[in-house]
Amino acid sequence: MSDLASLLHHDDTEPPKPDPETEQEESNSGGDGEDHDDSPAQSGTDSGDGIQEDDEDYVMKDEPSDDYNPVKNEPNNNTVKHESADADDDDDDEDKSDSTKAEVPTKVTQQSILSSFEKIKTHFPAARIKKIMQSDDDIGKVAQATPIIVGRALEIFMANLVECAIIESRKQGVKRISAMHIRAAVENSEQFDFLVDSVAKYPPMKH
């Protein structure tokens, strides 16, 4: 009886030891179940996507694009440039005004007369010149080319008189030619002495 009680007591306190072969088979069958079906595919997909996304982020962050253009911060010197440009413009204006005053001619040259003569597009009518010439009793018949030559001479005379009047107007700093400028041109040039009485009725130029 004591042996039977000791055996029963030993069975209740100590659990039965598992069979090593059975435990190895269960571990192999359990590992082949879940690990081969779900985890490899899922882990492979997740790991693959993760690696690909990381690679793309790495390329986008580390490799510059084609439109990448580094800009270097340079000091802004626009204010200094504008101030220097304004100073240069002021100096140029002063130089121009001084040169304009210095370049005012005091005498009419033959070149200026010819240049003014070439600008004339409207000529004196030859028929009217011929009629004026024939109004003189001392003049008989007039050749056909004579009024044309006289007309050209009148144009040269007019260009010369106008050039002298322009010089007088520039002395006053104006561009508009008036009667007083014509009078000053006649009085200041010996070649126009025969016109002094004709321009005497106009007011003189103020100095």
Condensed to tens digits (0 to 9), the pLDDT of residues 114-140 reads 777 777 788 889 999 999 999 988 888
Could you tell me the two tokens for 157? 């005379």
Q: What Cα–Cα distance (Å) separates residue 98 from each residue in 84, 93, 103, 106, 207?
A: 21, 9, 9, 16, 20
Other CB atoms within 10 A of residue 160 CB: 20
Reported confidence tier of residue 175, pLDDT bands at 50, 70, 90: confident
The pLDDT of residue 132 is: 92
Ranges of H-type helices in 38-145 = 39-62, 78-102, 110-119, 126-134
Rounded to 5 degrees, what are φ and ψ at 138? -75, -15
CA distance 81 to 16: 100
| Mean pLDDT of the region 93-102 | 48
pLDDT of res. 45: 44
**pLDDT over 60 (residue 186):** yes
Go through the domains of the chain in sequence order and give each one's CATH number.
106-199 (1.10.20.10)
Q: Which two tokens stand for residue 120?
A: 């004339």
Percent of the chain with pLDDT over 70: 48
pLDDT number for residue 49:
46
Q: Tell whether the model's pLDDT for residue 166 goes beyond 60.
A: yes
The mean predicted confidence, pLDDT, of the chain is 68
Q: Output 158 or 70, whichever has higher pLDDT.
A: 158
